[in-house]
Structure 1
């Protein structure tokens, strides 16, 4: 947003110089990105008129001009500008002047002809970038007047870096509200008097897409003078705002856009056929635009159409066929409110960016179109004459944005800012910003104006108060009070120990995105209960992960595709699932492995990693807790795991996770051509342990008994182990399985486990009778609960 400082001061003139104004704007969140000083160093530059112009006798491209400056004899000036001609009025730098570009004007001789001054271009005066010729002044410019006085200089072109949430400040009126609030200065509203109807000409308007355009106004103005040029004050304000003056009609619509923030468009009324319809474009519809390009449209685009064709791309650019030309005498002025989602991204899709789309896609005041139309009509009649028809409005009130009151609590304001702001100051700030304020016991009920789309919650109001009151006035003091030092419970294994243990066993830690594609979770049968993001960065990051394994396996695949043959990765992070009131977070630890069991070595084992390698790593983590809770592995029935090489992990009778080989069907979907083993466990179940306690070692010898037990194939070792431990009790110091046999002599569906029972008592030496008793108890329990028997 670029604007003239003098123009702003016509609306609100604070008691502050330029530097203070720019500083306060920046501190209020309206960052001043650049300031171009205009009109400095123009002492000695006057309005001159060329009263004679002859060809230079010694140079084809030079002319010898006689220039009147209102007093005395005309000055003889040698000039090379191509537009130097008899009757032209242009700036004249007299002898002794020092121009903004550093040039000092002296008497000089050019190719043998004396020159007593210099006719200037706008660039040489630091007023514009145009250096193509002399700066042409209007024919009514007073000869001899100081150029700075005539052009209302000095001035400055100030450029603001606007944030997307402040489209109201893309017009001088909206910006003036902020300046008035910052400095406590009175504000003069732009003239918005109703223009009386003096013509019967009307053009009907119909809304065929009310959600995209809930308000559209139009007015016919007949009999304007197409030859009239914009007045100097209007052209200068446009030029200092970074816009190039074109014609009176176009300049007026641009001026109103800069002044009020409402983009407008003017059609040649004689080139329109029938009524105006605001509708969605048809598939394959094309439109020739003002910039000469042909836009290929689809139903996502909103167009302004007459009875036969589209004549403008709504909120972006007008059409070439209905444009105003030098022969236009009847115009149709358009002023509308377009819903931001209907305009957002459409200009970028066509590879363009316009002042109108920049404003509409951020949000324009829905109550502004009528005031803007009246303002533009008044200016058009003032500058180009003509007769105004009636204002035709089509509106869908239910589709217009509604502003609701927002509560601001006095206590909340003080708590957030860490300081107290006087009630009178709060009310002054909010009212100066155009808000309706009603005080109550707890604070205020504030209704923002229709232009302030960004005011929705209490924190928005707090921001308004503090940015106008002054961020620099917020105290910068450290929090006070006693801080409680948190002590980690001794019975819990810290996450750092888990990480260190896995790293010591050859794993690398991976950090994966918490957001994943929904298709990932569906492949893993983990999409149920997933939390979808309201505004995802992309489709690949649309939902929050319910498992760590999809991301870890993608990382494993990434490494395999880069010639890493042995991959061992783990991650310790959180997963997310839908809850009653809010998403539920759960700490998890997961690991994936593939490739060789051991690093490549001349004397090492070259076998591939298997289920028992990964299970050993998992049990190593379980041992860190030193818990006395039983660990059990039960058959697992999950689609993502291999049905015969995976298990569900139970600790103390509660399921805490899974371990095993991934299902070959899943590996095929993931485009992996080798076995992958993985585990994933809840962190709380893994880290809960017990306090270590010292105990005296037994002074009595151990007794070992080896037995071979025949069990059904479906009975797991963990189940048999828990049965034996429960049957023998504290006398069983260690239990090992040292052989497994299945096949001839046992029968189908049976297996033989060779078990070593290591027995010891803390108070006496165990006898053979004691050992036989414990063995008998173990066999009886296995037969009763597991269907086992002693192998003969």
Structure 2
């Protein structure tokens, strides 16, 4: 919401010298998000005056049309003689009043004006366009003023070119601040000044003879006001002050009738709609659309309506989407503009207008605007909640302006349809804000602050607060407490640091997650957390089967994006999207990781209860909340592509592959004190021949699967748009942590005794996993074995078909003595014997 300071002063008598920065500071202290204060016309210097074009000479021989003009600027140039100016615009004629800046003046952007020779003539100044004056982005032609303005008049004051505009980011709960009325109320309260409410005007009650209206959906529209103005001068144009105010709030002036409805909307906060009465066909109605009905809106798009859309109708059918946008058939027409049916009579200009001011259900308007992807200034206000009591005042304000500026006559008939409704009240203890804020305000302060926001307060210790009609967000005692706290100043709340009990710090799970993050970062991975949202397309791209558990998702009631309406069941979707985006931007050597929650629907989970906010929930309430939540295991995942080891003067590099992804899983498991067991597997989205399943041994000796890793399937890399041979892995950290329960990280042991190294090459069947051979060697070698490493895998005719050779380096060391050759050889032989027994291995000759 853009708020010109000059307009704001009309409702709040700010002290002389109060700048936009002062108002910004006060409003921020009161809880509004004032993002910037724009200095409109900053650097503008005169002489900038009204001039009248006397002559126009068309200059020939140039690539574009050029005119040499003489302009009467009165005594502004010191001589009274016509000013000679070269101009390239074509939208003015002899006799028009224009804006002229003379030599010595400065336009916004430090554009200094001087007499200079151009196109063979000397130009003594410039005829200005709206963009050059900082009035808007229109650069198609210069500004042509109404003829009543006197030559030589100062144009800076006339066009209100110098001003300050506050840009406020209005949060959804403060929809009343989408108007000058609402911001003025906050400003008056912040400065302790009286408010001149623009909605407090004399409004006639319902009178017979008003335009007929029938509301059949009272839940969608509980108030509807209709007023009629006739005898309008269709050639009347919006005065400069009205155009400038609309331009400063970000609206483009269109025509007088439309400008007036927009002006009242920004002034009072009540959107209006104006109908050409000659184009209406009978009674105006408000109802839900019939499925399949069609409406061409003011933007020229034919829209197929939904059964939940609230529409404005006449006897011909829908003529507008209620609270969103009107229909093209009944729009206001300027003189000479053809009507919707193409008839010249309809294009003669609108002279009879019906003003609509209504209050619509916010949820219905929000859903319609989103359904048709048709947000508007009106829907933005309706979906946040407008003041139902302001409809009559807004309609009257529009009628008054049409009578004043367009010479119209207000018909005496007034249509007013209102569903009876009791004022909303909230019961609250007088000391409730004190208990919420942890300080003492006292009843007098609480009552005063609530009255300042428009509440009517009765009661002593227990207050009955009648909330104002323009504050639909005030429904509970804590809402009222927040109002008191923000007006008293958040900066005045006492600051107390919590006192944690001694001896407490990070939990074991938190320490493990930090160790894992440091270990992966040390291995060359970059952490790349992603949003936890996913769509069907991403799961399809992973090649998941229809019955894959990862396709069972938790769907959000109000997703940020319709393309990602669910919570993720795997970390790979976000990581691979990040990898694709970075690869597309030229970073081809990538190794990314993330640790985070995934979400799985819980069987039998019901609707979560609403916990209280005035006390700690009971254990039963907390248990009910947890029971309604989805399962949220924590996972770790990596993706990598490109070069794992870059090439250079030190030698050739090495591309990333499936083995790197598996090593990343081992890195994660080692931090939890778990040794992974690897088995070949087939699991989407991995290549069936380059996929490993990871298992860990739980405390009871059983093996549990903790994840998968390997190279992505070619179909998956193509569907996702990531490089071929991209590798990935994902593990369940909760299961790994459970398997490694009780593990405490310790530093390496440094022995004073030497190591004895023995190499062994074993021949086994090609389908025997190397992990089984390794486990047998460890078991047979006993406690003297310090480490074991597979350093070579060989296949070939020398060892026979269907066989492979696995070469291991075994390191033996004793903690209390130096091993003899016989000790090392005995341990080696025992390891070979156990491997032969378990895997049918033979020693390679």
- TM-score where L is the length of structure 1: 0.63
1:573 paired residue among 582, 590, 595: 595
Deviation at 1:464, TM superposition (A): 2.5
2:415 paired residue among 363, 381, 391: 391
Instruction: State the alpha-carbon separation in 1 of the partners of residues 842 and 722 from structure 2.
Output: 45
Instruction: State the alpha-carbon separation in 2 of the partners of residues 622 and 63 from structure 1.
Output: 84
CA deviation vs aligned residue, 1:183-238 (integer Å, no higher than 9, x gap): 5666677556663666546524245x7776554333557xx5657999xxx98985
Which residue in the other structure is 1:110 paired with?
Answer: none
2:526 paired residue among 500, 504, 509: 509
CA deviation vs aligned residue, 1:607-654 (integer Å, no higher than 9, x gap): 8665445545655666677x4x54322343422223444231425545
CA deviation vs aligned residue, 1:13-33 (integer Å, no higher than 9, x gap): 689986687864564338594
Contact 2:786–2:812, Cα closer than 8 Å, also in 1: yes
CA deviation vs aligned residue, 1:256-308 (integer Å, no higher than 9, x gap): 54664323344454543211134659776446x5xxx7554443787644223
Contact 1:759–1:771, Cα closer than 8 Å, also in 2: no
Contact 1:215–1:336, Cα closer than 8 Å, also in 2: yes
Which residue in the other structure is 2:451 paired with?
Answer: 431
1:261 paired residue among 262, 269, 277: 269
CA distance 1:391–1:651, shift in 2 (3 Å): same
Spell out the pairing of 1:214-363 with structure 2 (5 A cutoff). Answer: 215-219=223-227, 226=232, 241-242=245-246, 257=265, 260-278=268-286, 285-286=295-296, 294=300, 296-299=302-305, 304-308=312-316, 314-315=322-323, 316=325, 323=332, 332-339=354-361, 356=378, 359-360=381-382, 362-363=384-385
Which residue in the other structure is 1:520 paired with?
Answer: 538
2:744 paired residue among 682, 690, 699: 690
Alignment of 1:648 onto 2:672: no
1:132 paired residue among 113, 135, 145: 145
Structure 2 residue matching 1:464: 3-state secondary structure: helix
Alignment of 1:716 onto 2:781: no
CA deviation vs aligned residue, 1:39-84 (integer Å, no higher than 9, x gap): xxxxxxxxxxxxxxxxxxxxx99899xxxxxxxxxxxx9999x999
Contact 1:529–1:577, Cα closer than 8 Å, also in 2: no
Structure 2 residues without counterparts, runs of 5 or longer = 42-69, 75-79, 84-92, 96-129, 137-142, 151-159, 336-348, 603-626
Deviation at 1:660, TM superposition (A): 2.3
Instruction: State the alpha-carbon separation in 2 of the partners of residues 268 and 302 from structure 1.
Output: 21
Alignment of 1:550 onto 2:577: no
Contact 1:336–1:369, Cα closer than 8 Å, also in 2: yes
Which residue in the other structure is 2:731 paired with?
Answer: 681
CA distance 1:197–1:167, shift in 2 (3 Å): closer
CA deviation vs aligned residue, 1:71-99 (integer Å, no higher than 9, x gap): xxxxxx9999x999xxxxxxxxxxxxxxx
Which residue in the other structure is 2:388 paired with?
Answer: 366
Structure 2 residue matching 1:334: 3-state secondary structure: strand
Which residue in the other structure is 1:449 paired with?
Answer: 468
Instruction: State the alpha-carbon separation in 1 of the partners of residues 568 and 235 from structure 2.
Output: 64
CA distance 1:135–1:656, shift in 2 (3 Å): same
1:161 paired residue among 163, 167, 182: 167
Alignment of 1:468 onto 2:487: yes
Instruction: Calculate the aligned-residue CA RMSD, in Å.
Output: 6.4
Instruction: State the alpha-carbon separation in 2 of the partners of residues 218 and 478 from structure 1.
Output: 56
Spell out the pairing of 1:27-176 with structure 2 (5 A cutoff). Answer: 27-28=29-30, 29=32, 31=34, 33=37, 132=145, 135=148, 160-165=166-171, 166-171=174-179, 173-175=181-183
CA distance 1:283–1:366, shift in 2 (3 Å): same
Spell out the pairing of 1:741-756 with structure 2 (5 A cutoff). Answer: none
Contact 2:430–2:446, Cα closer than 8 Å, also in 1: no
Contact 2:207–2:415, Cα closer than 8 Å, also in 1: no
CA distance 1:723–1:435, shift in 2 (3 Å): farther
Instruction: State the alpha-carbon separation in 1 of the partners of residues 372 and 29 from structure 2.
Output: 36
Instruction: State the alpha-carbon separation in 1 of the partners of residues 253 and 479 from structure 2.
Output: 38
CA distance 1:321–1:333, shift in 2 (3 Å): closer
Structure 2 residue matching 1:336: 3-state secondary structure: strand
1:195 paired residue among 204, 219, 233: 204
Instruction: State the alpha-carbon separation in 2 of the partners of residues 655 and 359 from structure 1.
Output: 54
Structure 1 residue matching 2:598: 3-state secondary structure: strand
Contact 2:220–2:360, Cα closer than 8 Å, also in 1: yes
Structure 2 residue matching 1:195: 3-state secondary structure: coil
Structure 1 residue matching 2:169: 3-state secondary structure: coil
Alignment of 1:590 onto 2:607: no
Instruction: State the alpha-carbon separation in 2 of the partners of residues 752 and 250 from structure 1.
Output: 86
Instruction: State the alpha-carbon separation in 2 of the partners of residues 478 and 471 from structure 1.
Output: 14
Structure 2 residue matching 1:388: 3-state secondary structure: coil
Deviation at 1:427, TM superposition (A): 2.0
Structure 1 residue matching 2:451: 3-state secondary structure: helix
CA distance 1:458–1:642, shift in 2 (3 Å): farther
Which residue in the other structure is 1:663 paired with?
Answer: 713
Instruction: State the alpha-carbon separation in 1 of the partners of residues 493 and 178 from structure 2.
Output: 28
Contact 1:740–1:752, Cα closer than 8 Å, also in 2: yes
CA deviation vs aligned residue, 1:136-194 (integer Å, no higher than 9, x gap): 79xxxxxxxxxxxxxxxx9x988553433443244555455435544566667755666
CA distance 1:596–1:178, shift in 2 (3 Å): closer
Instruction: State the alpha-carbon separation in 2 of the partners of residues 358 and 412 from structure 1.
Output: 31
Contact 1:228–1:384, Cα closer than 8 Å, also in 2: no
Instruction: State the alpha-carbon separation in 1 of the partners of residues 682 and 24 from structure 2.
Output: 68
Contact 2:294–2:302, Cα closer than 8 Å, also in 1: yes
